[in-house]
């Protein structure tokens, strides 16, 4: 069926967003209604919420035929939510947005203008600053992006999030990557395409709480590095080689000293230290190796990224 107007799909992964969803729906709908030359649809993905998110979505959907939804059988995480939304969206252009209004809908008309004109395939929001995110979280996030950029050689910067509008070419490329361990920022960078950025100021979420804590953020950061870089394995090799060389050096020094002055140096303490150090490093590197092997193990099972309980 050919459409006279473009269709923009707004994909919204939601996990316990009963408070922010009505605000999000209202504000985003108002902005998009003003984009005269495109129709739009919402694809809400309820990622196993335990609050009233689903009934909020159903209420909205009952009154508005532009609203579609997918309900997961449990919480699969935001990555799975984005993948599901992109898989089910019908739009010529798709944009992924958080439900908490941290992604300002005011950017949508300009994003659409740019992707439609073809100056780029993908237009993303670039978040300036991290006010409202807390000092420690900002510090760790910035450091993570710096390290992962070096390790993965991919263009993943702090501020470049998942808030992007893309054309069908980009959506198809992203969907073609069916890996189970998904890391969207890396996938965006991997598929390439012409991407432009529009700056926006960071805002606090409209209502509710962030679903992230330090443990989950650390796991996410580790996931990003494991999915797109094997540098930690090389790092293990380099440290191993350095330890080996220092062991040989240490032995040479010991031999030399004992020739000159028997019993002058008792290397026992240092030896114990080195044994402990190398033992613990070995365990750490086995852990890194295990992390890669277990990723492969999960990939090989070919499990679905998400399971749907209901659609509407």
The residues of the shown chain that bind Mg ion, judged by CB under 5 A, are 98, 100, 102, 205
Residues 6 or more apart whose CB falls under 8 angstroms from that of 240 comprise 281, 285
Q: Which of ligand UDP, Mg ion, none interacts with 141 (beta carbon under 5 to 8 A by kind)? A: none
Q: Does 138 bind ligand UDP (CB under 6 A)?
A: no
**Segment 2-21, which members bind ligand UDP (CB under 6 A)?**
13-15, 17
Do residues 148 and 221 touch, judged by C-beta distance below 8 A? yes
308-311, strands of its sheet edge to edge: 195-201, 122-128, 160-167, 93-96, 6-14, 38-46, 67-72, 308-311
Do residues 91 and 128 touch, judged by C-beta distance below 8 A? no
Q: Does 257 bind ligand UDP (CB under 6 A)?
A: no
CA distances from 138 to 101, 129, 209, 221 (A): 19, 9, 17, 13
Q: Which is nearer to ligand UDP, 9 or 102 (CB)?
A: 102
Do residues 107 and 164 touch, judged by C-beta distance below 8 A? no
Among residues 18, 47, 92, 121, which is the contact residue for ligand UDP, using CB under 6 A? 47
Q: Which is nearer to Mg ion, 17 or 121 (CB)?
A: 17
Q: Does 149 bind ligand UDP (CB under 6 A)?
A: no
**Segment 210-229, which members bind ligand UDP (CB under 6 A)?**
210-212
Q: Which is nearer to ligand UDP, 92 or 100 (CB)?
A: 100
Q: Which is nearer to ligand UDP, 140 or 285 (CB)?
A: 140
Give DSSP secondary structure letters for 30-93: HHHHT-TTEEEEEEEEE-S-SSTHHHHHHHHHHH-TTEEEEEESS---HHHHHHHHHHH---SE
Q: Which is nearer to Mg ion, 130 or 205 (CB)?
A: 205
Residues 6 or more apart whose CB falls under 8 angstroms from that of 215 comprise none
Q: Which is nearer to Mg ion, 47 or 98 (CB)?
A: 98
Q: Which of Mg ion, ligand UDP, none interacts with 182 (beta carbon under 5 to 8 A by kind)? A: none
Among residues 11, 35, 94, 99, which is the contact residue for ligand UDP, using CB under 6 A? 99
Among residues 60, 77, 116, 148, which is the contact residue for ligand UDP, using CB under 6 A? 77
Q: Does 167 bind ligand UDP (CB under 6 A)?
A: no
Contacts to ligand UDP by CB under 6 A:
13-15, 17, 47, 75, 77-78, 81, 98-100, 102, 205, 210-212
């Amino acid at each position: 069926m050919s459409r006279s107007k473009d269709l923009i799909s707004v994909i919204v992964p939601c996990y316990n967003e009963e408070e922010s969803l009505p605000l999000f729906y209202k504000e985003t709908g108002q902005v998009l209604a003003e984009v005269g030359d495109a129709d739009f649809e919402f694809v809400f993905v309820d990622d196993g919420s335990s609050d009233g998110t689903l009934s909020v979505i159903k209420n909205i959907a009952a009154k508005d035929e532009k609203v579609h939804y997918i309900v997961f059988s449990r919480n699969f995480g935001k990555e799975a939510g984005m993948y599901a939304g992109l898989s089910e969206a019908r739009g010529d252009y798709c944009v992924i947005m958080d439900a908490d209004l941290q992604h300002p809908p005011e950017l949508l008309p300009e994003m659409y203008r740019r992707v439609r004109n073809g100056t780029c395939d993908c237009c993303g929001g670039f978040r300036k600053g991290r006010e409202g995110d807390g000092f420690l979280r900002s510090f760790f996030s910035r450091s993570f992006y710096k390290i992962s950029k070096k390790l993965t050689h991919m263009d993943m910067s702090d501020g470049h999030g998942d808030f992007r509008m893309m054309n069908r070419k980009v959506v198809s490329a992203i969907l073609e990557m069916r890996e189970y361990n998904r890391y969207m920022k890396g996938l965006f960078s991997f598929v390439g395409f012409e991407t432009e950025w529009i700056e926006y100021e960071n805002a606090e979420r409209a209502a509710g709480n962030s679903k992230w804590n330090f443990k989950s953020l650390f796991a996410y950061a580790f996931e990003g590095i494991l999915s797109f870089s094997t540098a930690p394995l090389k790092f293990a090799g380099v440290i191993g080689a350095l330890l080996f060389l220092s062991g040989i050096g240490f032995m040479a020094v010991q031999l030399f000293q004992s020739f000159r002055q028997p019993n002058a140096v008792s290397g026992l303490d240092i030896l114990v230290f080195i044994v402990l150090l190398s033992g613990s490093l070995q365990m750490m590197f086995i852990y890194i190796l295990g992390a890669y092997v277990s990723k492969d193990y999960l990939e090989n099972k070919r499990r679905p990224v998400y399971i749907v309980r209901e659609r509407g």
